[in-house]
Structure 1
Amino acid sequence: MEDWVYYSLSMTICIALSFLLSSIRPATGKPAAKPSLPPGPTALSLLLGPLLLLAWTTFNIEPIIRLARSWYGPVFTIYLLPSFPVIFVADGATARRVLVQCGAAFADRPPVNLATRIFNGDQRSITTGTYGPLWRVLRRNLSGKALHPSSLRRYAAARRAAVSGLTAGITQQMHNEAGGGRAVVVIQGLLHHAIFHVFARMCFGEGHGDGVVASITALQREFLSAVVGFQVLGVCPPLTKLVFRHRWKKMLSLRRRQEEVFIPLIRARQARRDASGDNFAVDCYVDSLLGLRIPEDGGRNLTESEMVSLCSEFLSGGPDSTVTALQWTMANLVAQPEIQAKLRAEIRHVVGAEARIQDEHLPRMPYLRAVVLEGLRRHPPSRFTLPRAATEGGGALLDGFSVPRHALVNFMLGGMAMDEAVWRDPKQFRPERFLPGGEGEDVDLTGSKEIKMMPFGAGRRICPGIDVSLLHLEFFVANLVKDFEWREVPGEPVEFGERLELTTVMRRPLRALVIPCC
C-alpha cells in the first residue's frame, strides 16, 4: 500500500509538473544591478519545488529540466523548497569552467537529507563531506592508494577470476537452454556478481569465499535499488517517517546489516595489520582506512561505523556505474552487429584467437576505448553529477550569476551528452566520433578538445577513479566480445527504455542470443 501511494503520487506529480511548466513563461525585464541567482520559474516555486523533489526520487525528470533549459538558458534555478535553490548547469563549456577552472570555488557539498546522513556518517564521506581537512584526507587516500593507476596491477588476478566466472556463468546458461551451441542469455546478474567480485577484493582484500562475495553483492544490490526511494524521507521527516514507515524501517535495517557484514571483514584486516607489524603493506581500501588519522579530531583513527560508511560508498558508486555502463554498451553492440564485428576484429588482431586478454593489451585497442567512451556518452550511468556547493561563506559567481552558500549546483550530464551543438547525430551510437582523424571526428583523445569531452574530459581532476573505471569497462567488454557473438533475439529487438535506481539502468535487462566464438 505504501509503495502504491508513493509511485502514484510521483507519477501524478511528473504529469502535473510537465503541464504546469509548459504554462510558465520566462519573466522579462531589465537586468539586475547586482549579481542575482540564475533565472528560473520562481512564481510557482512554493508549489513546484516540493513536488519536483518528490518526483525526482522515482522518475526521470530530465524532460522537465530540458524544458526549463530551453527557456532560461544553460544556467538556471529551480527551487526544490522555498529557501532551497538548485542551480542547474546544462552546457559543457560552462561545466568545464566551474569544475576545472573554478574547481576550488565550487568544491564543497551542500547539506544532505536524513537518508544520506544515515548511510554516510553525517556527511563524513567523500561524496557528501564538506570541503575541509577531513574531506581532503579521505579523497587523497582514495585517489593516492586504492585507485591510483600504480595500484591497478594489484587487482589483475581478481579481474581475471571475475571474467572466468562471468564466462562460466554465460556458458552454464547456454547449457541450461540446450540451444545447440546458442542460447538466450540474461547477463545483468552475472555482471553484478563479476564486478562485485573485483570491488570486494579491492575493498576487503583476498581470501574471501564466494559466500562472502555473494553476501556483499546481495546486500549492496538491495541498497542500490532502494536508496533513491529513501530520499523521500528527507522531505519533512516527522511526517514522511510516519507515511512511509515501512521504508524508514527498511532503511535502518539495511544500515544495520551493512555493519553486520562489513565490520567482521574490517576487523580481520585489523588483525592482519597487527600481526604484520612493521612489515604491513596496504593491499586493499580497508587497509588504507585503518592507517588514517582524522586531523580535525586530534589525529584519531576512523571508527568502525565511519569505515562502514566509506566501504559502502566504495561499493556503491564504482560497481553500480560499471555494471550499468557495461550493460548499456553491450546492448548497443547487440543492436549494431557491424560495430561488434569491427571491435572483435581489433581484439583478435592485438591478442590473437587463442591467447587471453591481459591489461597490457588494452592500450593497443583504440576502437575498444572509443566504444567504451561512446557508451558512456550515449548512456551516462547518472544523468546528473553529485551536486556541488560554493566553498566561501558569501557564495560564488557563476557566469555573472550569484550562487549562495549551500545552494546545490547540479550538472546535467545527460543533456550535455545529447547536445546537438557539440555532438553530430547525438542519438546515434557511433564510436568513430572518439577516434582521432575518424570520419566526422568529434573528440580528439589527446585532450586538445577537452571541452567537448564533458563529462569525461576533466578526467582525473574531477573523478579520481576514471582509470579504474575505464580499465574495468574495456577489460570486460573485450572479453565478452572476444569469447562470444551477441545477437538480438529473433522478434525481440533490444529495448532501450530507462529506469531510475542509483544509476539509470535498462528498464528491461538485456536479453541476447549468445554464440561461442571459435
Structure 2
Amino acid sequence: MSFTLQIVLFSSLPLFLICLTWKLYFSSSKSHKNLPPSPPKLPLIGNLHQLGSSPHRALQSMAQTYGSLMLLHFGTVPVIVASSVDAAREIMKTHDIIFSNRPFSNIASRIFYGSKDIAFAPYGEYWRQVKSISILHLFSNKRVESFRQVREDEVARMIEKIQKANNSVVDLSELLVSLTNNVVSRVALGRTYEGMEVKNMLDRMVQLMAGFSMGNYIPSLEWVDRLSGLHRKADDLAKEIDEFCEGVVEAHLNKKDFGVEGQDLVDVLLEIQRDNSTGFRLERHMIKAIILDIFSGGTDTTSTTLQWAITELLRNPRAMKELQQEAREIGQGRSLIPEEDLDKMPYLKAVIKEAFRLHIPAPLLVPRESTKDVKLLGYDIASGTQVVVNAWAIARDPSVWEEPEEFRPERFLNNPIDYKGFHFELIPFGAGRRGCPGINFATVINELALANLVYKFDFALSGEKAFDMTESYGITVHRKYPILVTATSYK
C-alpha cells in the first residue's frame, strides 16, 4: 500500500466513523419505533397487489391476521388501516385534529379546481371556512327543512311513474337514481338535469375518481399516468365540468332574485360572495367546486343506500311486512306519507340504520393523513402517514354485532347507536371534523322515499339476477345488477 493511499485512508477514517455512527443511530432509532403489524410487501408496489377488486373485503381479511390496526404500503406511501371501533375512535375523536388532513389526489385536484371543494380540500383555514359555510348556510336544519316540498314532489313523481307501469317490470334502481338526482339538482342548482349528457359526465367522473393514479402512490412513476392518458382524460373532463358549472352560475346571476324562500344552494353561495357576510372571500372557482361536490356526492351515495335498503327488504319478507305495516298505519290511506310523520316510524329508522350497517356506501370512507407524529393504540405513527378507516369491517365486526351478516333491523330498536358520528360502531358518514356535513339532507331523502315505496306498493323481484348481491366497487359500492321488480298498488 503506498504512503499516499495510507494518508487518504486514515484522513477519511473520522468522516467514515461519523457516517457510520449517524446511520447506526437512525437505524437504531427506527428499530425502536413500535410500528403496527405489517404484512410482507413487494418492492416498489408495496401491498397494492393485495387489495384486489374489493379492497374493503381484502382489508377485512388481512385485519383478521395482522390486527385491527395495520401498517401497509400503497406503493411508497405508508398507510394505516383501522378496522376496529377503538381505532376509529382514536383517529376521529381522540386525535381528530392530527388526522384531519386529506392526502393529495391528482385526479381530485384536477376535477375539483385544485381541491377547493369540501371533501378533498386539505385541512387548514380554507377548509375551515367552507366547512363552516356548509354547516351554517347550506345544510342547517332550517335550510334542509326549507326544501321539504321539493323532496315530496319528487317522491310523488316517482310513485306516479311506478303506478303507470301497470304491474309490468320496472327498473327500481334507475328510478331511485333519478329521484336523488332530481332532488339534489333542484335543491342545489335550482332545476333538474336529467339529460344523458350530464349523467354521462358524472359517470365518467366517478370512474376516474375510483381509478388508480400511479403518481399518487409511486411519485417516480407519475409519467405512467401521463402516458396512459389518465391526466388527459381528467383534464378534458375538468374542462367539460367547468363549462357545466359556469353555465349554472351564469344562469343564477342572470335570474331575478327569488328571495329566501326560493333560494337554492347556488343562490346562497352567490349571496355570501356578494355580501361578504362571512368575512371570507368566496371566489367563483370555489363556488363551482362546492357545487360539484354537492351535486355529484349527494346523488350517488343516497341512491346507493336506497337500493341496498329495498334489496334487503325484498330478500327479508318478514322485515318488509313489519315496515309496511308501520307505514300503512301512519299513512292512513293518504296519497303520501309526509315528512312530518317520519319521526313516528321507529322501524323505518331501524331499517335505514341496518342498511347503512351492512352496505356503507363508501366502505373505506375518504382517506385521511396525519400531520404530526402520534401514538395510536400504543403504536408510533409518523407524520404524513395516510389513514384508511374500514367502516365496512367495523360494521360487520362479530365482537360488536350479534350475527353481523344478517339483516336484522330490530337490533336498532331501543338501541342508542346512531350513524351521526358519535358512535364509532356505525360511521357511514365518517365522524369528527371531516364528517360529512350533508348527513341530515341525505337522511330525510332516504326515509321519505323508502317509507312511501313500501306504503304504496307490494313488490316482487323479477329476473334471474333478482337475488344476486354482487357488488360493483368504485367510490361507492353499488349493486352490480339493477333491481327489477313488479309493483302492485296497495289498495
Q: TM-score, normalised by structure 1?
A: 0.80
Q: 1:233-272 maps to which residues of 2 (within 5 A)?
A: 234=216, 236-242=221-227, 244-245=228-229, 247-272=230-255
Deviation at 1:43, TM superposition (A): 4.9
In the other structure, the counterpart of 1:197 is 182
* Structure 2 contact 331–337 (Cα < 8 Å) conserved: yes
* Structure 1 contact 485–514 (Cα < 8 Å) conserved: yes
For residues 271 and 456 of structure 1, do their structure 2 counterparts lie closer, same or farther at Cα, with a shift above 3 Å needed? Answer: closer
Q: Of residues 64, 68, 72 in structure 2, which corresponds to 1:74?
A: 68
CA distance in 2, matches of 1:492, 1:239: 38
Deviations 1:107-130 (A, max 9, x none): 111222x21210122232221112
CA distance in 2, matches of 1:462, 1:170: 35
For residues 502 and 491 of structure 1, do their structure 2 counterparts lie closer, same or farther at Cα, with a shift above 3 Å needed? Answer: closer
* Structure 1 contact 334–512 (Cα < 8 Å) conserved: no
Task: Count matched residues.
Answer: 458
Q: What one-letter code is carried by the residue in structure 1 that aligns with 2:122?
A: T
User: The residue matched to 1:409 in structure 2 has which SS?
Assistant: strand
For residues 166 and 459 of structure 1, do their structure 2 counterparts lie closer, same or farther at Cα, with a shift above 3 Å needed? Answer: farther
| 1:103 aligns to 2:78 (yes or no) | no
In the other structure, the counterpart of 1:166 is 158
* Structure 1 contact 337–487 (Cα < 8 Å) conserved: no
C-alpha RMSD of the superposition: 3.1
CA distance in 1, matches of 2:418, 2:41: 45
CA distance in 1, matches of 2:421, 2:373: 32
User: The residue matched to 1:345 in structure 2 has which SS?
Assistant: helix
In the other structure, the counterpart of 2:209 is 227
Q: 1:256-295 maps to which residues of 2 (within 5 A)?
A: 256-272=239-255, 276=257, 283-292=263-272
Deviation at 1:412, TM superposition (A): 0.3
Deviation at 1:152, TM superposition (A): 1.4
User: The residue matched to 1:410 in structure 2 has which SS?
Assistant: strand
Q: Of residues 133, 138, 141 in structure 2, which corresponds to 1:141?
A: 133
In the other structure, the counterpart of 1:304 is 284
Deviations 1:429-466 (A, max 9, x none): 11000001xxxxx6555999934334569589833222
Runs of at least 5 residues in structure 1 that lack an aligned partner in the other structure: 1-29, 176-181, 437-441
In the other structure, the counterpart of 1:353 is 333
User: The residue matched to 1:197 in structure 2 has which SS?
Assistant: helix
For residues 249 and 187 of structure 1, do their structure 2 counterparts lie closer, same or farther at Cα, with a shift above 3 Å needed? Answer: farther
Q: TM-score, normalised by structure 2?
A: 0.84
For residues 80 and 306 of structure 1, do their structure 2 counterparts lie closer, same or farther at Cα, with a shift above 3 Å needed? Answer: same
| 1:375 aligns to 2:352 (yes or no) | no
| 1:406 aligns to 2:384 (yes or no) | yes
For residues 448 and 78 of structure 1, do their structure 2 counterparts lie closer, same or farther at Cα, with a shift above 3 Å needed? Answer: closer
In the other structure, the counterpart of 2:83 is 90
Q: What one-letter code is carried by the residue in structure 2 that aligns with 1:126?
A: I
Q: 1:11-160 maps to which residues of 2 (within 5 A)?
A: 34-44=32-42, 46-51=44-49, 59-82=53-76, 84-112=77-105, 114-160=106-152
Deviation at 1:424, TM superposition (A): 0.7
User: The residue matched to 2:97 in structure 1 has which SS?
Assistant: helix
For residues 194 and 376 of structure 1, do their structure 2 counterparts lie closer, same or farther at Cα, with a shift above 3 Å needed? Answer: same
Deviation at 1:511, TM superposition (A): 1.5
CA distance in 2, matches of 1:309, 1:447: 25
Deviation at 1:90, TM superposition (A): 0.3
For residues 212 and 170 of structure 1, do their structure 2 counterparts lie closer, same or farther at Cα, with a shift above 3 Å needed? Answer: closer
Structure with the greater alpha carbon radius of gyration: 2
CA distance in 2, matches of 1:371, 1:340: 9
* Structure 1 contact 146–285 (Cα < 8 Å) conserved: yes
For residues 377 and 50 of structure 1, do their structure 2 counterparts lie closer, same or farther at Cα, with a shift above 3 Å needed? Answer: closer
CA distance in 2, matches of 1:75, 1:161: 46
Deviations 1:205-225 (A, max 9, x none): 3xx3x5567654443234224
Q: What one-letter code is carried by the residue in structure 2 that aligns with 1:360?
A: E
CA distance in 1, matches of 2:432, 2:117: 21
CA distance in 2, matches of 1:308, 1:374: 35
In the other structure, the counterpart of 1:23 is none
In the other structure, the counterpart of 1:17 is none
